[in-house]
């Protein structure tokens, strides 16, 4: 059986969609090779090498939508897939907010492929993991995690004539450190360029925090002055940017809704120290020059149809003032606006003050390394809950005195971003779902609502 090329797969899919008289269609083909090494107790445990091919096909006829994803891409299989997705569309209700695929537009170039990463092999990854594990052994810290390298190519075609292709590379490192005395740490790193990965530094950070967090003490929950690390700050900012949706705001369903109607764009809602943006071309976080938006009416097909929106640098908040909101394709059409590609990173401006200086300037407080299991609890107040993890420390007279048991927190981002008493130097950070650049923040009266025994 002849193996089809990428161009043949996409062109044949579009030809089949036209032959079966779909109104609209898009095909998104992602091929990648993944080379990952897992490790535990300071030794490699499993090597995984995967070749991934994923073809997503979305169609619409009479505003009835459906999508299908497959890795079966022979001529007969493509024919069957298109017929199947059309059959699914026949059973779907009409989407009253239907918006068709985007057309070809102008795109700025971004560099998402790095030869330094593409040329890595299994021996390179093994050497990096060995460096981390050998260092951890000398510190009597156990490391667990995975170290992965991805090389891929994303291609898109649709019935509006859109044709896009972008290669990419990625190094993903996720390390957890543990000590026999209950110490815990976590370091997450994601880079397109291998030259930014320093295995020894990753291990040094993981072992240092794990050792310092050993034998944690318990103190009463309550409202404390806290210093949030850049990672912790990014984890919270994710919920802020996610909430900046124009539709929800204009319909009175968001903190960014004006009580008299409309939105609060142009109002100062946060501390003047707060400036937050998303930059598709940031040198440390290069992203695709094209992206996608949330589908109209919650439509997953609409999300695929919007693939190909040009990404733009966008300032969400400037010196505490709300500057822009995010428009889905349907809401943009309804309001004669341009749809907004979903942000792929978050950047918060900081100062020139190192984190250590903020700690030295703190009489009493708690340092929080990171959060996890976070979730939004109230969109109208931007309230978020979650747990601290991997390093919580009590500060007194400008010095970290002892590690603490973890907490559950419940607080509003409105409160957090209006109670900043110090802001530090911004640096690369990783959240659970998004990369960013963020500063450490000292926040007064942060609500640590209860003790958590989770490690």
Burial of residue 298, with CB atoms counted within 10 A of its CB: 0-12 exposed, 13-18 middle, 19 or more buried = exposed
As a whole number of angstroms, the distance between CA 51 and CA 328 comes to 33
As a whole number of angstroms, the distance between CA 334 and CA 324 comes to 17
SS3 304: helix
As a whole number of angstroms, the distance between CA 413 and CA 24 comes to 41
As a whole number of angstroms, the distance between CA 297 and CA 96 comes to 8
**What pLDDT, on the 0 to 100 scale, is given for residue 166?**
96
**What pLDDT, on the 0 to 100 scale, is given for residue 286?**
82
As a whole number of angstroms, the distance between CA 53 and CA 57 comes to 13
Tally of CB atoms within 10 A around 268 = 14
CB under 8 Å to 441, separation ≥6 — which residues? Answer: 227, 228, 233, 416, 420, 422, 423, 424
CATH 3.30.2290.10 is the classification of domain 6-209 = yes
**What pLDDT, on the 0 to 100 scale, is given for residue 296?**
57
Q: Where are the domains of the chain?
A: 6-209, 217-455
Given the DSSP bridges, would you call strands 309-310 and 314-318 parallel, antiparallel or unpaired? Answer: unpaired
Please give the model's pTM, rounded to 2 decimal places: 0.93
**What pLDDT, on the 0 to 100 scale, is given for residue 431?**
87
Whether residue 77 contacts residue 70, with contact meaning beta carbons closer than 8 Å, is answered with yes
Closest by alpha carbon to 426, among 213, 279, 207? 279
With a cut of 70, which residues of the chain have pLDDT below it? Answer: 1-2, 295-298
**What pLDDT, on the 0 to 100 scale, is given for residue 39?**
97
Annotate 396-422 with DSSP letters as a single string.
ETTEEEEEB--EEEEEEHHHHTT-EEE
Tally of CB atoms within 10 A around 451 = 15
């Amino acid at each position: 059986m002849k193996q089809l090329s990428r161009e043949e797969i996409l062109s044949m899919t579009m030809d089949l969609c036209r032959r079966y008289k779909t109104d609209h269609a898009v095909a998104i083909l992602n091929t990648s090779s993944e080379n990952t090494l897992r490790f535990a107790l300071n030794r490699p445990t499993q090597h995984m090498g995967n070749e991934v091919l994923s073809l997503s096909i979305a169609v619409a006829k009479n505003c009835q939508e459906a999508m299908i994803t497959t890795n079966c891409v022979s001529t007969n299989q493509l024919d069957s897939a298109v017929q199947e997705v059309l059959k699914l569309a026949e059973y779907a209700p009409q989407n009253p907010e239907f918006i068709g695929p985007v057309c070809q537009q102008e795109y700025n170039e971004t560099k998402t492929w790095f030869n330094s990463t593409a040329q890595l092999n299994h021996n390179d990854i093994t050497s990096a993991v060995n460096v981390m594990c050998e260092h951890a052994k000398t510190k009597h810290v156990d490391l667990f995690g995975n170290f992965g390298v991805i090389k891929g190519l994303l291609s898109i075609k649709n019935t509006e004539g859109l044709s896009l292709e972008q290669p990419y590379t990625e190094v993903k490192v996720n390390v957890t450190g543990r000590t026999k005395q209950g110490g815990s740490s976590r370091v997450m790193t994601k880079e397109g360029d291998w030259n930014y990965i320093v295995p020894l530094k990753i291990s040094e950070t993981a072992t240092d925090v794990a050792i310092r967090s050993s034998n944690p003490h318990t103190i009463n929950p309550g409202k404390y002055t806290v210093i949030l690390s850049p990672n912790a700050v990014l984890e919270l900012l994710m919920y802020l940017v996610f909430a900046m949706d124009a539709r929800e705001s204009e319909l009175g369903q968001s903190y960014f809704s004006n009580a008299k109607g409309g939105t609060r764009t142009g109002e100062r809602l946060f501390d003047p120290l707060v400036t937050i943006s998303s930059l598709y071309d940031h040198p440390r976080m290069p992203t695709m020059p094209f992206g996608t938006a949330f589908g109209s009416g919650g439509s997953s097909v609409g999300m695929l149809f919007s693939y190909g929106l040009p990404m733009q640098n966008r300032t969400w908040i400037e010196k505490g003032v709300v500057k822009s909101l995010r428009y889905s394709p349907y809401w943009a059409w309804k309001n004669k606006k341009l749809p907004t590609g979903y942000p792929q990173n978050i950047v918060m401006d900081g100062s020139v003050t190192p984190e250590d200086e903020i700690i030295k300037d703190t009489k009493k407080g708690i340092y929080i390394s990171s959060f996890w299991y976070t979730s939004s609890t109230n969109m109208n107040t931007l309230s978020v809950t979650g747990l601290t993890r991997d390093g919580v420390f009590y500060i007194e007279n400008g010095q970290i005195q002892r590690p603490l048991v973890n907490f559950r927190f419940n607080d509003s981002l409105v409160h957090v971003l209006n109670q900043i008493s110090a802001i530090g130097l911004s640096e690369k950070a990783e959240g659970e779902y998004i990369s960013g650049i963020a500063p450490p923040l000292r926040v007064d009266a942060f609500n640590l609502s209860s003790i958590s025994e989770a490690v």
